[in-house]
């Protein structure tokens, strides 16, 4: 009896450890649990705000010009690197331009009801934190526990920001926790996405966005400043822990007639 009791305790403790350290909502589409918890994606796990030390963040004043709540002087978030483009860059130049990875973002919540997700997105936008909604399909009790949701089906995750490192994300996280105490944001890392286009002309990016809207495809943008004074806009669909998840999304988009590629986020 004593041995059986000890074994039961060990099983419970191990289960709790797995739950709290692997608990992370999935990206759009359905990625296998093996991929989400593999050694390759260990660094993709969310950083708990409770364990975050504000002294580690940059000492930038959040109210200073260019801070995450500074206003809408620019459509490009602070911290985006300046890209060097040749004069009169054409579509070939844009397609072959190596972009710096920006895999980190801040996860603010997952919602079964789209309107709740849209309300959260609107609140973040109103605080000068451009947010985007990424859907994810959950199947099974294990997936529910692993991804921190309460039932199967389609969930809408609300994310904000594009950062090259956790250190860059932590400053925004600190400001969010101070300005929006009702949220429990987490830093997350998604290495993969599907890129549907990159443009120097805003109108062209808008036209692609409208086509995606017509097909009910959730999408978002990354915008980089350039040495020419123009902004380069990437139109992206989804964010994934694994290459497989991005490839599955690519297949669905190609089936809808879109010319896209799997890319680093």
Which helix or strand (DSSP H or E) is residue 10 part of?
helix 2-22
100 closest CA partner among 264, 245, 240, 232: 264
Which tens digit of pLDDT belongs to each residue from 183-221? 989 999 999 999 999 999 899 999 999 999 999 999 999
Compute the distance between CA of residue 249 and CA of residue 194 in angstroms, rounded to an integer.
7
Strand order, beta sheet including 261-264: 220-225, 231-240, 192-199, 261-264
Compute the distance between CA of residue 18 and CA of residue 52 in angstroms, rounded to an integer.
21
The residue assigned the tokens 């969010």 is 176
Rounded to two decimals, the pTM is 0.71
**Residue 81 pLDDT:** 82
Which tens digit of pLDDT belongs to each residue from 109-168? 889 999 999 999 999 999 999 999 999 888 888 777 766 678 899 999 999 999 999 999
254 closest CA partner among 217, 221, 213: 217
What distance lies between CA 44 and its chain's CA centroid?
Answer: 11
Q: How many domains does the chain have?
A: 1
Per-residue confidence band for 86, with pLDDT thresholds at 50, 70 and 90: confident
More confident residue, 201 or 234: 234
Q: What is the mean pLDDT of residues 216-243?
A: 92
Compute the distance between CA of residue 136 and CA of residue 153 in angstroms, rounded to an integer.
8
**Residue 205 pLDDT:** 96
Compute the distance between CA of residue 265 and CA of residue 248 in angstroms, rounded to an integer.
16
Specify the range with the lowest mean pLDDT, choosing from 11-20, 83-92, 124-133, 205-214: 11-20
pLDDT beyond 50 at 69: no
What distance lies between CA 15 and its chain's CA centroid?
Answer: 27
Long-range contacts of 178-182 (CB under 8 A, 24+ apart): 178/62, 179/62, 179/69, 179/127, 180/123, 180/124, 180/127
Containing structural domain, residue 13: 2-264
Q: What is the mean pLDDT of residues 92-96?
A: 85
More confident residue, 201 or 86: 201
**CB 83 within 8 Å of CB 222:** no
**Residue 207 pLDDT:** 97
Of 46-55, 89-98, 100-109, give the range with the top mean pLDDT.
100-109
pLDDT beyond 60 at 101: yes
Which tens digit of pLDDT belongs to each residue from 32-66? 333 333 333 333 333 333 332 323 333 233 333 33
What share of the chain in percent tops pLDDT 70? 69
């Amino acid at each position: 009896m004593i041995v059986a009791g000890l074994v039961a305790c060990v099983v419970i403790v191990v289960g709790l450890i797995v739950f709290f350290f692997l608990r992370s909502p999935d990206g759009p589409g359905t990625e296998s649990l093996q991929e989400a918890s593999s050694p390759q994606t260990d660094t993709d796990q969310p950083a708990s705000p409770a364990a975050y030390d504000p002294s580690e963040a940059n000492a930038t004043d959040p109210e200073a010009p260019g801070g995450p709540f500074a206003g809408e002087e620019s459509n490009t978030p602070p911290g985006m690197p300046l890209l060097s483009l040749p004069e009169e860059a054409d579509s070939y130049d844009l397609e072959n331009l190596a972009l710096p990875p920006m895999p980190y973002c801040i996860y603010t919540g997952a919602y079964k009801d789209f309107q709740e997700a849209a309300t959260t997105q609107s609140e973040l936008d109103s605080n000068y934190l451009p947010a985007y909604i990424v859907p994810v399909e959950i199947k099974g009790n294990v997936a529910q526990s692993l991804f921190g949701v309460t039932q199967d089906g389609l969930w809408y995750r609300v994310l904000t920001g594009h950062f090259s490192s956790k250190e860059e994300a932590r400053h925004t996280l600190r400001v969010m926790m101070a300005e929006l105490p009702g949220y429990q944001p987490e830093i997350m890392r998604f290495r993969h996405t599907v890129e549907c286009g990159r443009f120097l002309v805003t109108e062209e990016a808008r036209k692609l966005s409208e086509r995606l809207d017509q097909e009910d495809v959730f999408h978002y943008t990354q915008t980089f400043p350039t040495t020419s004074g123009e902004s380069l806009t990437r139109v992206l669909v989804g964010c994934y822990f694994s290459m497989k998840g991005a490839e599955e999304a690519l297949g669905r988009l190609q089936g809808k007639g879109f010319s896209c590629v799997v890319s680093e986020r």
